[in-house]
A and B are shown apart, each in its own frame.
Chain A
Amino acid sequence: MKLKRSQEPIFWLLFGGGGTLAALVGVVLIVITGILVPAGSLPPDTMSFAAMHAFAASLFGKAAIFLVITLLLWHGVHRMAATAHHIGLASAHTAQIVLRGFAALATAACAYLLVGL
Chain B
Amino acid sequence: MTDTRTIRIEALRFNPETDSEPRLQRYEVPFTPDMSVLQGLQYIKDHLDGSLTFRWSCRMAVCGSCGMMINGRPHLSCETFLRDLYPGPVRVEPLDHFPVQRDLAIDQAGFLDKLAAIKPYIVSAKERPLSEGPSRQTPAQLDAYYQYSQCINCLLCYAACPQFGLNPDFIGPAALSLLHRYNLDSRDIGWSVRADAANADVGVWECTVVGYCSEVCPKGVDPMHAVNENKVNSALDYLGVKRLLGGR
Chain A interface (Cβ < 8 Å from any Cβ of B): 1, 3-6, 8-10, 12-13, 82, 85-86, 88
Contact = CB atoms under 8 A, between A and B. Distances in A.
Contacts of A85: 166, 208
B200 A9 contact: no
B162 interface: yes
Given A12-B235, A86-B162, A5 B200 contact: yes
Contacts of B231: 9, 12
B203 A9 contact: no
B235 A1 contact: no
B197 interface: yes
A6 B208 contact: no
Given A12-B205, A12-B235, A85-B208, A5 B199 contact: yes
B202 to A, nearest CB: 7
B65 interface: no
B117 interface: yes
Interface residues of B, number: 22
Does more than half of chain A's interface fall in helix, strand or loop, or is it mixed? helix
Does more than half of chain B's interface fall in helix, strand or loop, or is it mixed? helix
A8 B227 CA distance: 14
B75 to A, nearest CB: 24
Contacts of B200: 3-6
A9 B113 contact: no
23 contacts: A1-B116, A1-B117, A1-B169, A3-B117, A3-B196, A3-B202, A5-B196, A5-B201, A6-B200, A6-B203, A6-B205, A8-B201, A8-B205, A9-B205, A9-B234, A9-B238, A9-B239, A12-B205, A12-B231, A13-B239, A82-B208, A86-B162, A86-B210
Interface string B202-235: 1101001010000000000000000000010011
A1 B199 contact: no
Interface in B83-130: 113-114, 116-117
Contacts of A88: 166
A13 B199 CA distance: 14
Interface string B189-200: 000000011011
